[in-house]
Amino acid sequence: MSTTAGSTQSSSSPHWSDLPDDLLGLVHLRLACPRDRVRVAAVCKGWRAAASLLPRPPARLLLLVSPRRVRCNGTKRLCGPDDSWVVRVPDKAEGKWFLGSHEGGWVAAVDCSKLVIVNLFSGAEVEASPSPDVDDIGTTSLHKIIFSEAPSSSSCILAAIAYQRCHIALCKVGRHQSGWTVKTLGEKFIIDIAFCKGELYGLVYPNEELIKFKIDMKAEGTPVITSCHPLAIERRQGPQLSEGHLIELHGKPCMAIDRPWLPNRESFFKVFTLVDTDNDKAYKYKWAEILSFDDHALFLGVNWSKAVHVTADGHHGLERNQVYYSEENLSPTKKLPDDVVYLVTIDNDGQMYCREDQSVGDGVERTGYYVTNRKHRPMWVCPPLL
């Protein structure tokens, strides 16, 4: 009789899959880590369906460590302000260099003969144009790959800085037999490229020239740069560009430069936006310093930079008007700042640290991530918004 009672009690107990959506929503909002939100959605079909209906949290970028390390054991470390975890690399991306990423967990990975576009979290793959080497663009010459929109869209275009940073290469996702097209820029040295409102821009060293590229489509659907328009920009005062990041913010091209702006001070990032001069001079535009990003934070990296919308309550620890950046290839012999905070050990031969920079009084805060081994080069990625 006791067995029957126990069975009755067990059968009448509510199942986890039957939890009401509003309760699941409360749980979901308290999960700061993307890994935990992915796990919640993976419990069952009901939970995944409920998660898809809940308000999505703002994008939260994480640092993928060692994106250019060819020899790997199939896993890579993800690091963020409040978490660190290991992600399994999809088989088709294993052993390749990661040269670009996009929202939702997408990455562009290459080796000496092939380009693949895969989702680092789901394993989904989007077919790319024929391998660049087929079109006389060796993948080893590629420096960075960016996406015009989500790679799952049939209209997505890939743009890459190629060769000695004097060429821009384009292709379209999907099986387009004509593959890649290349535009040579002569002696112009491209520091960075970015899509802004669907149009491609390139930042030139050392004079901070900005080039706007006109992209047309061939009959078979292959993108090609048909013209380059250098914008007439007034020369900016102060330390000039040595390295920089090009990024879209509020629909405008912006550049971030890390320089020693003040006497006897360490270098720090300043951000400038392209504005009209509103005069009849020869220069139609100028670079104007930004002292507020409004409701955004900036994530700056070699392979991907992005302006991320941040909610008023600083959801999941993100802060508005903040620059998050990574210190690339920090030598083990270089002394770390005294106020760094240890985050994680990487493969037993490198560590990652974090530091909030001292304020310089301009209203913009800055947080740096430092890696103590040259072969561990971090790249920002954005997990799926579950």
On whether both 47 and 132 belong to a single domain, the answer is no
* 351: confidence class by pLDDT, cuts 50, 70, 90: confident
For the chain, give the percent of residues with pLDDT over 90.
36
Q: How high is the mean pLDDT of the chain?
A: 82
**Per mean pLDDT, which range of 244-258, 282-296, 336-350 is the poorest?**
336-350
For the chain, give the percent of residues with pLDDT over 70.
79
On whether both 230 and 303 belong to a single domain, the answer is yes
pLDDT at 92 over 90: no
What is the CATH classification number for the domain harbouring 24? 1.20.1280
On whether both 136 and 276 belong to a single domain, the answer is yes
* 163: confidence class by pLDDT, cuts 50, 70, 90: confident
In terms of residue numbers, what domain contains 29? 13-55
The pTM score is 0.85
On whether both 237 and 334 belong to a single domain, the answer is yes
On whether both 43 and 62 belong to a single domain, the answer is no
Instruction: Over range 270-298, report the average pLDDT.
Output: 90
Q: State the total domains in the chain.
A: 2
Q: Is residue 90 part of a domain?
A: yes
On whether both 136 and 17 belong to a single domain, the answer is no
On whether both 209 and 158 belong to a single domain, the answer is yes
Instruction: Over range 360-384, report the average pLDDT.
Output: 86
Q: Is residue 305 part of a domain?
A: yes
**Are the C-beta atoms of residues 332 and 321 closer than 8 Å to each other?**
no
On whether both 37 and 67 belong to a single domain, the answer is no
Q: Is residue 87 part of a domain?
A: yes
| Rounded Cα gap, residues 15 and 25, in angstroms | 17
| Rounded Cα gap, residues 313 and 165, in angstroms | 41
| Rounded Cα gap, residues 105 and 60, in angstroms | 11
On whether both 156 and 256 belong to a single domain, the answer is yes
Q: What is the DSSP letter of 361?
A: S
Per the model's pLDDT, the better-predicted residue between 269 and 139 turns out to be 269
Q: Is residue 4 part of a domain?
A: no
Instruction: Over range 43-58, report the average pLDDT.
Output: 70
Q: Is residue 6 part of a domain?
A: no
| pLDDT, position 214 | 97
Q: Is residue 240 part of a domain?
A: yes
What is the CATH classification number for the domain harbouring 188? 2.130.10
On whether both 217 and 322 belong to a single domain, the answer is yes
**Are the C-beta atoms of residues 370 and 363 closer than 8 Å to each other?**
no
On whether both 78 and 50 belong to a single domain, the answer is no
On whether both 67 and 36 belong to a single domain, the answer is no
Q: Is residue 2 part of a domain?
A: no
Q: Is residue 44 part of a domain?
A: yes
Instruction: Over range 1-28, report the average pLDDT.
Output: 60
